[in-house]
């Protein structure tokens, strides 16, 4: 009886302690829930303040544009004057009546995060195909092909993608899909080749050694890209740089059939702090950033036809999200840019204006 009585006493004491502990835990959970709600409110408030700050920064940067990118270089000026009569820097006779230029970034859509921090994704810039072509990394030989945007967006793995193994590995992120063909850059020793690859029958149609000596990376912030193949309403272009004029970017018009260089220009756009470039209606748009990634911006525009003066071009800012762009491919049929930002695939929809209205 004494042991039973002792057991009842201990059970009663344990029950009391358990009830007290339960009440204590419930109190702590209630306090934690209140703290969680307070933190959530603070985070939401901080997000609102960040969005407001970004809008204010956009406004301030629009009202206080960055300094012009053209440097006064007497040597460069003398060189340009000396070569003014040559074909190299003649004004370009346009093939189309395109007279648009970029006014601003109308919208941005972040699709997903796929692959390495550097890469390239794009559609066919000329055809009507909806296929998505993905180049993961800056040196590889396998291209992923998704049938539509939906498959690329919804699936994180590559099981929905076909694979195209190229006969030669690519280098950089300056490649292009145009009218059913892949134009990609191959490095062979000190020289670079433009390879034209038929995507339908998986064969090399043509190749050409790019006719520029002592090439250097075309963008100061993207040291892996030596040639950027771009497409616009006028056709194909090649953006590059050489040691002969290592400060500035050069531009060439490509024949998509023969890969011949039709015309070449020395532009006033500097390589320093450049991260990418694309061509719109015959005008080269160079995108700049900083060594510590900040807000990307189109700060230098060079119109080969001479119809758009650099001082008349709009200063276009891209919303800051992750890092810096390793590739930016303009689609002339969709009027948008496919960008790769620190492993994120982004679409920028562009607001266009007539050149005379900017």
Residues 317 and 220 in one domain: yes
Q: Tell me whether residue 61 is in a domain.
A: yes
Q: Tell me whether residue 73 is in a domain.
A: no
In whole numbers, what is the pLDDT of the chain averaged over residues? 85
Higher pLDDT, 82 or 253: 253
CA dist list (Å): 122 to 143, 155, 205, 287, 337: 11, 17, 21, 18, 9
The number of folded domains in the chain is: 2
Q: How many whole angstroms separate alpha carbon 85 and alpha carbon 203? A: 41
Structural domain of residue 247, as residue ranges?
97-354
| Domain's final residue, options 14, 47, 66 | 66
Residues 58 and 142 in one domain: no
Residues 315 and 171 in one domain: yes
Give pLDDT tens digits for 292-312: 878 899 999 999 888 877 777
pTM of the model: 0.76
Give pLDDT tens digits for 131-166: 999 999 999 999 999 999 988 988 666 777 899 999
Q: How many whole angstroms separate alpha carbon 275 and alpha carbon 228? A: 11
Half-sphere exposure of 339 (CA within 13 A, CB side): 27
């Amino acid at each position: 009886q004494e042991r039973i009585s002792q057991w009842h006493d201990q059970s009663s004491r344990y029950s009391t302690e358990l009830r007290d502990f339960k009440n204590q835990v419930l109190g702590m959970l209630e306090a934690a829930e209140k703290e969680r709600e307070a933190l959530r409110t603070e985070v939401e408030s901080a997000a609102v303040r960040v969005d407001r700050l970004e809008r204010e920064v956009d406004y301030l940067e629009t009202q206080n544009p960055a300094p012009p990118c053209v440097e006064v270089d007497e040597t460069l000026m003398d060189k340009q004057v000396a070569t003014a009569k040559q074909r190299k820097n003649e004004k370009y006779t346009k093939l189309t009546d395109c007279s648009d230029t970029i006014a601003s970034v109308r919208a941005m859509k972040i699709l997903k995060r796929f692959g390495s921090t550097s890469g390239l994704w794009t559609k066919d810039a000329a055809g009507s195909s909806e296929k998505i072509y993905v180049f993961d990394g800056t040196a590889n030989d396998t291209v992923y092909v998704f049938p539509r945007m939906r498959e690329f967006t919804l699936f994180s793995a590559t099981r929905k993608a076909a694979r195209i193994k190229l006969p030669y590995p690519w280098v950089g992120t300056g490649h292009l899909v145009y009218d059913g063909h892949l134009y990609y850059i191959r490095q062979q020793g000190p020289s670079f080749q433009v390879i034209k690859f038929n995507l339908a029958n998986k064969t090399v149609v043509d190749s050409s050694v790019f006719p520029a000596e002592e090439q250097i990376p075309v963008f100061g912030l993207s040291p892996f890209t030596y040639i950027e193949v771009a497409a616009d309403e006028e056709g194909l272009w090649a953006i590059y740089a050489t040691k002969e004029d290592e400060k500035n970017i050069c531009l060439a018009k490509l024949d998509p059939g023969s890969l011949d260089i039709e015309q070449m220009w020395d532009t006033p756009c500097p390589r320093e702090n450049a991260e990418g470039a694309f061509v719109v209606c015959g005008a080269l748009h160079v995108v700049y950033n900083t060594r510590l990634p900040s807000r990307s911006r189109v700060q230098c525009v060079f119109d080969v036809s001479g119809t758009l003066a650099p001082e008349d071009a709009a200063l276009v800012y891209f919303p800051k999200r992750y890092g810096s762009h390793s590739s930016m491919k303009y689609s002339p049929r969709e009027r948008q840019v496919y960008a790769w930002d620190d492993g994120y695939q982004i679409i920028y929809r562009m607001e266009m204006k007539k050149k005379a209205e900017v």
